[in-house]
Structure 1
Amino acid sequence: MTFPHPQARLVAAGEPKGGLSGDELVHHIARTADVLARLRPGPLLCGMRNNLASVLRYLAAWRAGRAIALLDPDLPAGALADLSRRFRPAALLGFTHAVDGSPPARHEAPPPHPDLAVLLATSGSTGSPKLVRLSRQAVLANAHAIVEALSITPGEIAPTSLPLHYSYGLSVLNSHLAAGATVVLTEAGLLERSFWAHLDEHRCTSLAAVPYQYEMLRRLRFDRAEHPSLTTLTQAGGRLSPELVTRFSAQADRFFVMYGQTEATARIAVLPPDRLADRPGSAGRAVPGGRLSVVDDEVVYHGPNVMMGYADDAADLALGDQLGGVLRTGDLGRLDSDGFLYLTGRLKRIAKIFGIRVNLDDVERLLRDSVPIAATSGDDRVTVWAEGLDAAGCAGLARRLGAELRVHWSGFDVRRVERLPLLATGKVDYRALESRT
């Protein structure tokens, strides 16, 4: 199975050339692969930017059979040094910060498993995370499942609207390359004028975004009529409010709601546009080739795109498949009689107030109609972080939660923040909030 597809095209936004495709793309990949193949054994740690150099490096590692970790290029020097110590890479490529001091001592470590292709940080991880081990089969299986579920054709053109070191952003790249479509590489964000200039210049047909980005687009009064080539919108990375699903599905010919995890290479379920009306709130059905079940209220996914396992250090990279295609997601949910998935919370998003169990996702859902908020657990209390509220507003939210959840309001510590801290993926950085308590 050829990857990328012979018709696939990479375009660097703002460049006058028509991009790389066909034999020219193959030539550039092969030339970089030759360089990578001459490096000493071990994984490659790559600061993955939304630019041509990073994507060529990724595809060259794939061609050369080198395991490559795609990481935040702006990792602090200390975190990068810790990853280097733990994983003993053959090279560090593309990072903003250099690692101080001499390379770590090279102790005996088995080479990475031959099936291992890509390493990604666990979703929401900051600092020095454990890595998700993805096989070549898993990457290709999920790419082709997405192509089928979203009906991606060679005529599709997608911009890099998400970081490529994030599984959702990487899956957009992989699926379009697998389909023989075009990817426009831009490091501009959705709030920058240049992003929309690039989108219009290259006549992009689809846009992928997470809930926070859709909230920003709502505030900016996004109007699809200003971008006539844009026909498809996709959403993953967390639950999008019903109001925003309705608003943006009306702004596109096709609006896909999706659910996924890094541990499943990217996407697990897709709700197609024609089921938005009769399955409101659903995350959809399993992607082609996959299957969903619910065991003790936990969502379990079965499919060829499930990770091989986690890695904490270099020795773990030599391990084979530890999960056998079965992923316990840690998400709570239910399936209806037609196999549509409804998510209800996280197993670990549970706090206790005066001995009573409180689901933090329920807390956030209850207050979603007020201001942007996030909930974290503390010692016998729930801390609620609310954007821009004054003291009276915070006290009002605490009393509202107490009444709604039938727990004394003093169990909720509502605090004002100017802005909720966000990860590069647009998700709330709960670890940053927890560090303030």
Structure 2
Amino acid sequence: MTPKYDKVHNRFKLNGLHYDHEDLKEVAYSLIKEGEAYEKVTGNFLIDWLSDKDYLYVNTSGSTGKPKLIELKKQAMVNSAIATGDFFGLEPGNTAIDCLPSHYIAGKMMLVRAMVLGLEIDHVEPSAHPIFDYEKHYDFCAMIPLQLKHTINYTYNIKNIIVGGSKITQPLLERIKNSSSKFYETYGMTETVTHVAVRRLSSKISKGEAFFNALPNVTFSQDDRQCLIVNAPKLVDEPLITSDIVDLKSETSFDLLGRIDNVINSGGIKLFPEQIEDKLQPVIDERFIVAGEEDDALGERLVLIVENPRDTAKSIANRIRFIKGLTKYEVPKHIYITDKFVETVNGKIQRNETIKSVLKE
């Protein structure tokens, strides 16, 4: 029988202590009244979750547009937690770390998974360098790439780590290869109640996967733009049409090419910024993006924008020349330097706003 949103699993523990539904309300009120700033946010979420309403409102991150408030059904969040539990083999009494802010869906879902699946979860401050018990065994954790970058030397006791929220850089992927945990890149959004697909990354104990694979009860299709359509009846009422162009491998797997609104048409050649950025990563240490700039001859020319680099634009251009596999169309025609990218409140790059600020569109 499928668990309901108004039930708290009898094996659930928060920071080592067992709480039932009513106890958890008292904890939430205490967090709101006496907790640190991040704990107050968690307390407010718990109050919202434990209320009689069958829905709640969640903020989107704003990385691909303006942040907005959307309504999610609590039962859809329960169904998402069950799908994650089934995929990763999570069982009552398993341990987890919650180091994500409860402002957004990813942090909220870590707590929901614990309450629904009966996990023993340690809730720690959601900083760029989260501090947790490095010697304790954990079965599951979710991090953004920045957090993993700072803690990967201390993740040897974490069995499964999902990574999402922003691009995983090539240097971090190389460090993951030398780690002894299992790592998964996630694909999803607030509207799909976090991830609906994952891609296993190469590590010491795990062979990497080329494509994203669906979680249970999720299938994929495409529209006439080659954009992904997510069919997840237990999460969303209708098929969700995304703006992500994919190479669909099957109804449960795909290769992510890039967002349709990022595609650059340069002299009739379609360029996918995300794929070009992957190729440029080995020679650029700082954050960067590629973009299309208006050009009389080409329509759009490919340009590179780098955030506060240590090297000159000329030095970066020289290194790019020697990248194998980079076609002549994928070589930036100009390099712009900027002091600071435009970000969301949780540190994600706002690509469109950054491009506009640099190119003065």
Q: What is the aligned partner in structure 2 of residue 374 from structure 1?
A: 289
Q: Which amino acid aligns with 2:209?
A: P
Which of the residues 329, 333, 350 maps onto 1:429?
350
Q: What is the aligned partner in structure 2 of residue 211 from structure 1?
A: 145
Shift of 1:264: 0.5
Separation of aligned partners in 1, 2:316 and 2:173? 28
Shift of 1:186: 2.3
Q: What is the aligned partner in structure 2 of residue 384 from structure 1?
A: 304
Map Cα deviations across residues 5-53 of structure 1 (whole Å, 9 max, x no partner): 2322223xxxxxx546236634517979xx9xxxxxxxxxxxx9631x3
Change (3 A) 1:188 1:56: closer
Contact 2:101 / 2:126 at 8 angstroms: preserved in 1? Answer: no
Contact 1:184 / 1:202 at 8 angstroms: preserved in 2? Answer: no
3-state SS of 1:134 partner: strand
Q: What is the aligned partner in structure 2 of residue 199 from structure 1?
A: 133
Separation of aligned partners in 1, 2:254 and 2:143? 21
3-state SS of 1:345 partner: strand
3-state SS of 1:280 partner: coil
Q: What is the aligned partner in structure 2 of residue 186 from structure 1?
A: 124
Which of the residues 46, 50, 67 maps onto 2:38?
50
Q: What is the aligned partner in structure 2 of residue 313 from structure 1?
A: none
Contact 2:277 / 2:289 at 8 angstroms: preserved in 1? Answer: yes
Contact 1:50 / 1:185 at 8 angstroms: preserved in 2? Answer: no
Which of the residues 321, 326, 335 maps onto 1:414?
335
- Structure 1 portions without partners, runs of 5+: 12-17, 36-47, 67-114, 308-323
Contact 2:211 / 2:255 at 8 angstroms: preserved in 1? Answer: yes
Contact 1:163 / 1:424 at 8 angstroms: preserved in 2? Answer: no
Separation of aligned partners in 1, 2:187 and 2:90? 18
- Structure 2 portions without partners, runs of 5+: 295-299
Shift of 1:302: 0.6
Q: Which amino acid aligns with 1:58?
A: F
Contact 1:149 / 1:270 at 8 angstroms: preserved in 2? Answer: no
1:206-355 alignment to 2 at 5 Å? 206-214=140-148, 216-217=149-150, 222-224=152-154, 229-240=157-168, 244-245=172-173, 247-248=175-176, 250-271=178-199, 280-283=209-212, 285-296=213-224, 297-307=226-236, 324-336=237-249, 339-354=252-267
Q: Which amino acid aligns with 1:429?
A: Q
Counterpart check, 1:131 vs 2:69: yes
Contact 2:182 / 2:206 at 8 angstroms: preserved in 1? Answer: no
Q: Which amino acid aligns with 1:386?
A: V
Q: What is the aligned partner in structure 2 of residue 62 from structure 1?
A: 49
The TM-score, its normalising length taken from structure 1, stands at 0.65
Task: Specify which structure has the bigger relative contact order, considering alpha-carbon pairs within 8 angstroms and separated by 6 or more residues.
Answer: 1
3-state SS of 1:176 partner: helix
Separation of aligned partners in 2, 1:350 and 1:432? 16
Shift of 1:267: 0.9
Separation of aligned partners in 2, 1:229 and 1:408? 41
Q: Which amino acid aligns with 1:291?
A: T
Q: What is the aligned partner in structure 2 of residue 88 from structure 1?
A: none
Shift of 1:294: 2.9
Change (3 A) 1:354 1:327: same
Q: What is the aligned partner in structure 1 of residue 59 from structure 2?
A: 120
Separation of aligned partners in 1, 2:293 and 2:7? 47
Map Cα deviations across residues 150-184 of structure 1 (whole Å, 9 max, x no partner): 22223333333222223323222221221111332
Q: What is the aligned partner in structure 2 of residue 396 from structure 1?
A: 318
Contact 2:247 / 2:254 at 8 angstroms: preserved in 1? Answer: yes
Contact 2:21 / 2:50 at 8 angstroms: preserved in 1? Answer: no
Change (3 A) 1:207 1:243: same
Pairs aligned (count):
338
Change (3 A) 1:173 1:49: farther
Q: Which amino acid aligns with 1:59?
A: L
Shift of 1:305: 5.0
Identity %: 20
Shift of 1:326: 0.6
Separation of aligned partners in 1, 2:291 and 2:37? 31
3-state SS of 2:77 partner: helix
RMSD: 3.7
Contact 2:58 / 2:71 at 8 angstroms: preserved in 1? Answer: yes
Q: What is the aligned partner in structure 1 of residue 297 from structure 2?
A: none
Q: Which amino acid aligns with 1:302?
A: N
